[in-house]
Structure 1
Amino acid sequence: MNTKLDTNALNQLFTEARTFNEFLDKDIPDELIKELYELMKWAPTSMNCQPGYYVVVKSVDAKEKLNKALAPGNQQKSMTAAATVIIASDTQFYNHLPEQFPAYPTAKEMFESNESFRDTTAFRNSSLQGAYFIMAARSLGLDCGPMSGFDNKIVDETFFADGRYQSNFIINIGYGDASKNYPRGPRLAFDDVVEIL
């Protein structure tokens, strides 16, 4: 039976976690990125479709390519982060369904024959997986700065030239410099956004 996480864990994941704009000059080992993926991959997606695809941009050359697609306000923060992760959707995710979701034998054909359903499913579930990526990163002691201020077309042409993958959003990851944080913004109240019927 599951038990409630302790306050320290909840603080690290939610109540004291921040979106970081500035990062310390500290590398993230590739082994930690692998550990992050191995943790987040267990989170749920519809029909276990797992359309997320992740490009971890760490090298100077790759960062310079990505920088051309970023909004001006996001360039410096991404260049100084240990890594920037492109969260993308695999438009051919359905090819994995015979192994990933054998409970529904015709799942592959269902998506393969319906482009709109395929694209909606890929986008929705890769968005979920991007959120899981953030929570897994936080749980392993990393800080995140998710962003949507970039040109998807340039990112896709640069990193996904064959057209199979489509960028969704990006996340700077690393060890945040809390001294550069803005004051924390408020959150909407329960009564403003939640109905229990």
Structure 2
Amino acid sequence: MTLDLLAPAALDDDALALLFTDARTVNTYVDGDVDPAEIQAAYEVLRWGPTAMNVSPLRLAVVPQGESRERLAAHMAGFNRDKTLAAPLVVVAVADPGFHRHLGTLAPHRVGLEQDLEPQEERRLEMARTNTLIQIGYLIVALRARGLSVGPMAGFDRAGLDADLFAGNGWRSELVLTVGWAAAENGTHPRAARLEVSDAVVVL
């Protein structure tokens, strides 16, 4: 189906509840593996979300149960280690500072940008991190849209993890996400409040 951008369209309340209002960060999942193909399917959707100049720096390292999971868990903070080991599937969301090497495909209209960015490591790192965080937001929503629950975690030794798992490609880890189907009692706290619109939105 092709979306007609000129025609009004909106998600209904049930869809919004699945993605936002009823969705929760999950700590405890039902038993059973999650097929890594679920992550591939979510990426097929999220890759169409906008990033600056279409740089698309997000890379996803999918970590099923096994040796790689044990290595990953060793870099997690204590309060996140058990969750990492127990989850049906784990994804490390990373930023690729070498994103500019794909600009011939992603932004062919920006002639010479790849060459301009090559020596600008600090600028590339900032662009990669900012746009990866945007894409991680898309990832969480895309996984929820597939009926999965997600538990994002930032408590880990980034430098150690990157040196262990990504030394060969220079990727920079941003978040570790557990993925699965939420258990009936998923270990979450009562839902915290959110700022009211009047506290967070201004019209200038």
8 Å contact 2:65–2:88 — kept in the other structure? no
Distance in 2 (CA, whole Å) between partners of 1:20 and 1:178 is 11
Aligned to 2:201: 194
- 2:198 alignment partner AA: D
TM-score (ref. length: structure 2):
0.92
1:2 deviates by 4.4
Q: How many residues are matched?
A: 197
Give the 4+ runs in structure 1 shifted more than 4 A: none
8 Å contact 1:23–1:77 — kept in the other structure? no
Aligned to 1:41: 47
Give the match's secondary structure for 1:87: strand
8 Å contact 1:25–1:80 — kept in the other structure? no
1:181 deviates by 2.2
TM-score (ref. length: structure 1):
0.96
Trace 1:75-90 onto structure 2 (pairs within 5 A). 75-90=81-96
- 1:110 alignment partner AA: D
Trace 1:1-197 onto structure 2 (pairs within 5 A). 1-162=7-168, 164-179=170-185, 180-197=187-204
Distance in 2 (CA, whole Å) between partners of 1:188 and 1:142 is 26
Percent identical among aligned pairs is: 34
Distance in 2 (CA, whole Å) between partners of 1:194 and 1:23 is 35
Q: Which has the higher helix share?
A: 1
- 1:188 alignment partner AA: L
Change in CA separation of 1:13 and 1:106 when aligned onto 2, cut-off 3 Å: same
Give the match's secondary structure for 2:176: strand
Distance in 2 (CA, whole Å) between partners of 1:113 and 1:2 is 45
Distance in 1 (CA, whole Å) between partners of 2:102 and 2:169 is 18
Give the match's secondary structure for 1:56: strand
Any unmatched runs of 5+ in structure 2? 1-6
1:30 deviates by 2.6
Once superposed, what is the RMSD of the aligned Cα atoms? Answer: 1.2
1:32 deviates by 2.0
Change in CA separation of 1:71 and 1:42 when aligned onto 2, cut-off 3 Å: same
